[in-house]
Amino acid sequence: MRSAICPTYLQFHDLASHFLALTARDRFLRFGWVMTDVDIVAYVESLLQSGGNVFVVVEPAPDISGVLHLESTSGGANVGLSVSPWARGKGIGSLLLERAGLVAAGRGIRTLFVRNLNFNAALRRLAQRAGMHVACAPSACSPRIDRPAASNGRVRHDRSEWNITLADHSLRSQWSRAASLDTAAAELQERIPI
How far apart CA 164 and CA 112 sit, in angstroms, is: 7
For 63-103, the pLDDT digits (tens) are 899 999 999 888 899 999 999 999 999 999 999 999 999 99
Alpha helices in 9-165 (DSSP H): 12-20, 24-31, 37-49, 92-106, 121-129
Q: In terms of Cα–Cα distance, which of 98, 103, 111 is closest to 177?
A: 111
Domains of the chain by start residue, with CATH: 4-191 (3.40.630.30)
For 18-59, the pLDDT digits (tens) are 999 999 999 999 999 999 999 999 999 999 987 778 999 998
Predicted structure pTM score: 0.79
